[in-house]
């Protein structure tokens, strides 16, 4: 990227209330993973540097280390993250610090109790706080100034579920009045020549929230109220037996090769369901 292109990019970002910063200052990156668990050996030398914006750095020496383990997960620090440590600063209660204990180092929360004892406290109940009782030499390198999160890939299944929810939310179905429901029951009744065919009516009414999914009792009660003398009033178990394979889903997702009935019988269920929809929304 040329200087002119960079200036143009910064100008465009500023016009959109963004705050671009140029990574122009080298900060040491240590070739060691700070364990958010039990302490491990401290590194002696850094092996490379990372570039950070000068505006984000303080007058104190700073360096970056990567993190592994989960003992600080409740503080938002996860394995694979990097943390920017500000050295030569006095820690206070609640500061997350990088400490070296008897030649081993760890990342924990600094805490002084009422008796003046100093603890390094993990942010995960599965780990035990470490008491700094003077039995081992301790050096606190500095406190964590910033957590630099690792960008993880999101499972595509989660994306697909989110898209499905969004699409479903867009499917705004009209509110069906009681009068429409009564009309639909009476008009569809002559098409029902077997008790189980009422499942097609139930499923479409469930799709339009006239009844709740799997609330067969309410559907049968409505049916008995509207056409009490129909010769094919279904039992609950008869409707339940039809709620399998693609028939367990909304009518629009029914498939002839994955349905509990085949051929002309499948077509009859589809025709009754479509007729029910027509009566409900006409």
What are the tens digits of pLDDT across the range 2-27?
667 656 655 666 675 666 555 555 55
pLDDT for res 103: 76
Q: Residue 142 contacts by C-beta under 8 Å, 6 or more apart in sequence?
A: 60, 61, 62, 85, 86, 87, 88, 89, 97, 98
Q: Are 27 and 49 in contact (CB under 8 A)?
A: yes
180 vs 230: CA distance, rounded Å = 19
In sequence order, the β-bridge partners of residue 200 are none
- Residue 50 per-residue DSSP state: E
Q: What is the pLDDT of residue 112?
A: 92
Q: Helix 178-188 crosses helix 263-281 at what angle (to 10 degrees)?
A: 150
Q: Which of 16-20, 53-57, 148-152 has the lowest mean pLDDT?
A: 53-57
Token pair, residue 242, equals 């039809």
Across 83-94, average pLDDT: 84
Most confident range (mean pLDDT) of 52-61, 95-104, 145-154 is: 95-104
Residue 238 CA to residue 7 CA, distance in Å, equals 72
Task: Look at residue 137 in the predicted model and tell me its pLDDT.
Answer: 86
Domains and CATH numbers, the chain: 3-12+19-148 (2.10.109.10), 173-281 (no CATH)
What is the C-alpha to C-alpha distance for residues 119 and 137, in angstroms, rounded to an integer? 14
Which of 107, 110, 164 has the alpha carbon at shortest distance from 132?
110
Residue 191's pLDDT band (cuts 50, 70, 90): very high
Residue-averaged pLDDT of the chain: 82
* Predicted structure pTM score: 0.45
Confidence of residue 263 (pLDDT cuts 50, 70, 90): very high
DSSP-assigned letter for residue 252: G
What's the mean pLDDT in 192-199?
96
Which has the minimum average pLDDT: 11-15, 147-151, 178-182, 195-199? 11-15
Instruction: Name the token pair of 110.
Output: 């600094």
Over 50: is that where the pLDDT of 217 sits?
A: yes
What does the pLDDT read at residue 70?
87
- By annotation, the residues acting in catalysis are 71, 108
The pairing of beta strand 23-35 with beta strand 62-68: parallel
pLDDT, residue 7, reads 63
CA distance 97 to 86: 9
Residue 31: what pLDDT?
Answer: 45
CB of 272 within 8 A of CB of 190? no
Instruction: Name the least confident of 34-43, 191-200, 222-231, 269-278.
Output: 34-43
pLDDT of res. 243: 96
pLDDT at 274 over 90: yes
């Amino acid at each position: 990227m040329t200087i002119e292109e960079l200036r143009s990019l910064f100008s465009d970002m500023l016009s959109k209330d963004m705050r671009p910063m140029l990574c122009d200052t080298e900060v040491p990156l240590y070739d060691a993973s700070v364990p958010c668990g039990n302490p491990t050996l401290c590194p002696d030398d850094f092996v490379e540097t990372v570039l950070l914006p000068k505006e984000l750095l303080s007058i104190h020496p700073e360096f970056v280390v990567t993190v592994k383990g989960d003992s600080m997960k409740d503080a938002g620090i996860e394995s694979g993250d990097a943390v920017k440590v500000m050295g030569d600063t006095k820690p206070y209660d609640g500061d997350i610090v990088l400490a070296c204990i008897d030649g081993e180092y760890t990342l924990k929360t600094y805490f002084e109790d009422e008796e003046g004892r100093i603890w390094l406290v993990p942010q995960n109940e599965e780990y035990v706080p470490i008491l700094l009782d003077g039995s081992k030499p301790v050096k606190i390198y500095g406190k964590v100034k910033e957590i630099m999160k690792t960008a993880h890939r999101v499972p595509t299944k989660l994306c697909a579920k989110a898209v499905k929810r969004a699409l479903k939310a867009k499917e705004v179905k009209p509110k069906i009045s009681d009068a429409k429901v009564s009309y639909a029951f009476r008009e569809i009744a002559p098409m029902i020549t077997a008790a189980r065919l009422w499942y097609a009516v139930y499923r479409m009414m469930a799709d339009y929230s006239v009844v709740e999914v799997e609330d067969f009792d309410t559907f049968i009660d409505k049916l008995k109220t509207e056409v009490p003398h129909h010769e094919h009033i279904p039992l609950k178990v008869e409707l339940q037996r039809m709620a399998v394979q693609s028939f367990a889903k909304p009518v629009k997702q029914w498939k002839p090769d994955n349905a509990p009935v085949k051929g002309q019988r499948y077509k009859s269920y589809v025709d009754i369901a479509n007729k029910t929809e027509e009566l409900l929304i006409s």
